[in-house]
Amino acid sequence: MLPPPTYDDVIGAAGRLDGQAHRTPVLTSRTANEMTGAELFFKCENFQRMGAFKFRGAFNALSCFDAKQRAAGVVAFSSGNHAQAIALAARLLGMPATIVMPEDAPAAKMAATRQYGGHVVTYDRYAEDREAIGRRLAEERGMTLIPPYDHPHVIAGQGTAAKELFEEVGDLDFLFVCLGGGGLLAGTALATRALSPKTTLYGVEPEAGNDGQQSFRSGAIVRIETPRTIADGAQTQHLGHYTFDIIKRDVDDILTVTDAQLIDGMRFFAARMKIVVEPTGCLGFAAARDREAQVRGKRVGVIVSGGNVDLERFGALIAPSHPDPNSSPSR
Ligand SMILES: *Cc1c(COP(=O)(O)O)cnc(C)c1O
């Protein structure tokens, strides 16, 4: 088993990602500042390659492979951003990638993964266990399995986004970070404790899937059923062992927001800042808005984690809700 990652591993990851990942922009918005009374800094990973921070962890993990691992390639199980991140990173590094996806995964996601050069293997999500399939492929074909969050090299890679943020804007009073399985939050925690140790660091989950909050407050990893939420990047059932140990030690608290608050966030980002943010990417901002009294007058960072949402779904989510969108007032 690999040792848990430290901030030195984040520095190492930043070196490997140099010239490969985008150094994403930090946006500001006078309207957002007026709304919250805070000075907000948005680290916009929706502009990262393949549209989310996951490229950082994936590329770092694959860059650490030895020659034998490179030849056999990587296997990952995911229907979301991790799949695309692994497929793209593998292509850039010239190694084969096999992605295990449920056979009913959205066609657009399968197509995107294939477009990046990933070999897609499907399974029946009601009858088969994707982790077992991933492990079997790894064993039979010598491939290396890279999980979406609970891996030291993935965590170190995800930490490079916060490293860039602190290097660009300096110390922050607060930092709000989306939380699924905790790769982004754990990596961010390593960077935060090294670069701006006094920052109050919050992880933010969808209210319907608050396993991270329960785990943080009880001191042991809590497992839940797949939560019903529009934040599909945070539909994880439990934190990882590496991620939880770091989160327990270095994070101040885990907050939750509702799907309605995420939709408000998507609307704000589109209307005011002209950016497309997927529901999960709005978790941090929604929580910062919710904590207006606490953040007023403070310097506040928000990691906007990704922008991968089908345009049709995006339109449906941000549209003002009508009882029947097809009925016209005159009828
Ligand atoms: C994966 C993902 C998350 C959650 O990240 P974890 O490392 O699993 O906590 C948040 N936002 C987006 C856009 C993601 O793809």
- In angstroms and rounded to an integer, the radius of gyration of the C-alpha atoms of the chain is 19
pLDDT, one tens digit per residue, over 26-36 is 999 999 999 99
Ligand 1 atom having least distance to the Cα of 183:
7
211 a catalytic residue: yes
What single letter denotes the amino acid at residue 63? S
- In whole angstroms, what is the distance from residue 18 CA to residue 22 CA? 8
79 a catalytic residue: yes
- In whole angstroms, what is the distance from residue 48 CA to residue 157 CA? 13
- What proportion of the chain, given as a percentage, has pLDDT over 70? 97
Ligand 1 center–CA 218 separation, angstroms: 23
pLDDT, one tens digit per residue, over 140-165 is 889 999 999 999 999 999 999 999 99
pLDDT at residue 330 greater than cutoff 50:
no
> What integer pLDDT is reported at residue 49 of this predicted model?
97
173 a catalytic residue: no
The torsion angle over the Cα atoms of residues 146, 151, 157 and 161, rounded to 10 degrees, is: 120
Ligand 1 pocket (Cβ < 6 Å) reads: 52, 54, 80-81, 148-149, 178-185, 233-234, 236, 278, 280-281, 305-306
Which residue is it, tokens 């925690």? Answer: 189
Q: In the predicted model, what is the mean pLDDT of residues 47-57?
A: 97
Which position has the higher pLDDT, 245 or 101? Answer: 245
pLDDT at residue 130 greater than cutoff 70:
yes
Residues 254/214, Cβ–Cβ less than 8 Å: no
> What integer pLDDT is reported at residue 280 of this predicted model?
96
> What integer pLDDT is reported at residue 102 of this predicted model?
82
Which stretches within the chain are classed as H helix?
Answer: 7-17, 30-36, 54-63, 67-72, 81-92, 107-115, 130-141, 152-169, 183-195, 211-218, 241-250, 259-273, 283-290, 292-295, 311-318
Burial bucket for residue 244 (CB in 10 Å: 0-12, 13-18, 19+): buried
Residues 57/318, Cβ–Cβ less than 8 Å: no
Residue nearest to atom 14 of ligand 1 (CA): 233
Asked which of 8-22, 261-275, 294-308, 312-326 is least confident by mean pLDDT, the reply is: 312-326
pLDDT at residue 322 greater than cutoff 60:
no
Residue nearest to atom 5 of ligand 1 (CA): 180
pLDDT at residue 94 greater than cutoff 70:
yes
Return mean pLDDT, the chain.
94
Confidence of residue 97 (pLDDT cuts 50, 70, 90): very high
Residues 48/23, Cβ–Cβ less than 8 Å: no
Residues 117/90, Cβ–Cβ less than 8 Å: yes
pLDDT at residue 185 greater than cutoff 50:
yes
Asked which of 15-24, 81-90, 204-213, 315-324 is least confident by mean pLDDT, the reply is: 315-324
Q: Tell me the pTM.
A: 0.95
> What integer pLDDT is reported at residue 331 of this predicted model?
42
- In whole angstroms, what is the distance from residue 247 CA to residue 150 CA? 12
> What integer pLDDT is reported at residue 326 of this predicted model?
54
What does the block give as tokens for 91?
């292509």
Residue of 178, 204, 205, 211 to test ligand 1 pocket, by largest number of atoms within 8 Å of CB: 178
What does the block give as tokens for 157?
């890679």
